[in-house]
């Protein structure tokens, strides 16, 4: 059960009941932050849903652009992580409130351009630091994906590799945090018997842990339909078939950080150039109607050329 109203002052005075609701008691409480804390009636599911929508998207009909930089490492179940490459991830989503007044729907398209690790220099060929093999880069595309945000969290469609599970929201210092976790698995479409260099086993595993953060000052303005949200996440994923790790032990681990943008104009110039060059489809979503995902497209191409 959520407290009826989450405010900084309420957190200080309500004690254990708020801790049970997943709101951590802060140690240092600046006076300014007390005044700026969000005042939300969490007992009202409509208001709770609108609050979540403001953080993950907007609570009105609107286009949203977001960008994250994802540094991806290989981990072999022993030793340190090995830098592999950096992925420039751009997402474009269309949001609108549903007629029930209780949920918000989004259709999302995303892409990713693989770059030399720690840079914004796109790769055409990547040299695997474990095997020494040079592999043709297979760029990332995903969508359209359907997302719904409601009073209890987010739900994605059957095509998404992120299946959000709600975690307790917290206020720490001058920031509001909304974490999510996700564990997902599916049968590997490439069998290790037929594709020993690409297949990492019978099952494909994908874990994602997201944290959305918003300054309390920004959340306090209830009239603002879209919060200034930053996001960080960590992915741990079965070896992607294009990198050619086969059944070697381990997985890739990705660490990302980014934010919703005010508009497409806020996408960094080098990133936009890379996306336009490598995955231009994401800028023409009117003609992107059939579902695409990078793993499925790679598998189809690999099977057809076997």
DSSP 117-179: TTSS-B-SEEE-TTT--EEE---EEEEEEEEEEETTEEEE-TT-S---EE---EEETTEEEEE
pLDDT at position 97 is 96
Decide if 212 contacts 229 (C-beta within 8 A).
Answer: yes
| 256 in Cβ contact with 71 (< 8 Å) | yes
Q: How far apart are CA 43 and CA 3, in angstroms?
A: 7
Q: For residue 68, give the H/E element and its range.
A: strand 62-75
- Residue 208 is given by DSSP the state E
Q: Is the pLDDT of residue 25 over 50?
A: no
Mean pLDDT of the chain: 85
Stronger pLDDT, 115 or 294, i.e. the higher one: 115
What is the mean pLDDT of the segment spanning 50-79?
A: 95
Average pLDDT over every residue of 257-261: 97
How far is 63 from 85, CA to CA, in rounded Å?
29
Q: In angstroms, rounded to a whole number, what is the distance separating the alpha carbons of residues 275 and 273?
A: 6
Rounded to whole angstroms, the Cα distance separating 46 from 106 reads 17
What are the b/e assignments for 64-79, b being 16+ CB within 10 Å? Answer: bbbbbbbbbbbbeeee
- For 107-151, what is each residue's pLDDT tens digit? 999 999 999 999 999 999 999 999 999 999 999 999 999 999 999
Q: What average pLDDT does range 64-68 have in this prediction?
A: 97
What pLDDT is attached to residue 122?
97
* Predicted pLDDT at 223: 65
Question: pLDDT band at 1, cuts 50/70/90?
Answer: very low
Contact 174, 30 (CB under 8 A): yes
Instruction: Answer whether 236's CB lies under 8 Å from 255's CB.
Output: no
Q: Is residue 93 over pLDDT 80?
A: yes
Q: What is the pLDDT of residues 214-255, one digit of tens each?
A: 998 888 766 678 899 999 999 999 999 999 999 999 999 999
86 neighbors 116 (Cβ within 8 angstroms): yes
Report how far residue 1's alpha carbon sits from residue 103's, in angstroms, rounded to the nearest whole number: 19
């Amino acid at each position: 059960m959520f407290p009826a109203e989450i405010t900084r002052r309420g957190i200080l005075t309500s004690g254990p009941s708020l801790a049970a609701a997943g709101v951590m008691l802060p140690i240092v409480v600046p006076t300014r932050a007390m005044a700026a804390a969000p005042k939300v009636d969490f007992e009202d599911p409509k208001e709770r849903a609108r609050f979540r929508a403001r953080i993950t998207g907007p609570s009105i009909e609107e286009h949203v652009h977001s960008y994250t930089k994802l540094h991806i490492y290989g981990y072999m179940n022993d030793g340190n992580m090995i830098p592999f490459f950096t992925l420039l991830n751009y997402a474009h989503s269309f949001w609108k409130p549903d007629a029930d007044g209780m949920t918000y729907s989004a259709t999302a398209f995303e892409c990713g351009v693989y770059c030399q690790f720690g840079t914004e220099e796109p790769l055409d060929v990547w040299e695997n630091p474990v095997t020494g093999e040079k592999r043709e880069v297979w760029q990332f595309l995903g969508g359209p994906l359907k997302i719904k945000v409601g009073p209890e969290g987010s739900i994605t469609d059957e095509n998404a590799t992120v299946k959000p599970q709600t975690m307790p929201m917290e206020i720490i210092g001058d920031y509001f945090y909304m974490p999510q976790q996700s564990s997902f698995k599916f049968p590997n479409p490439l069998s290790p018997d037929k594709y020993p260099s690409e297949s990492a086993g019978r099952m494909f595993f994908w874990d994602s842990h997201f944290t959305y953060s918003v300054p309390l000052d920004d959340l306090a303005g209830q009239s603002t339909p879209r919060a200034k949200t930053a996001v960080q996440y960590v992915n741990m994923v079965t070896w992607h078939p294009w990198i050619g790790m086969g059944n070697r032990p381990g997985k890739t681990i990705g660490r990302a950080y980014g934010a919703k943008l005010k508009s497409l104009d806020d996408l960094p110039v080098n990133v936009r150039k890379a996306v336009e060059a490598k995955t231009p489809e994401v800028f023409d979503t009117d003609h992107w109607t059939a579902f695409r995902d990078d793993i499925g497209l790679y598998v189809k191409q690999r099977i057809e050329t076997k």
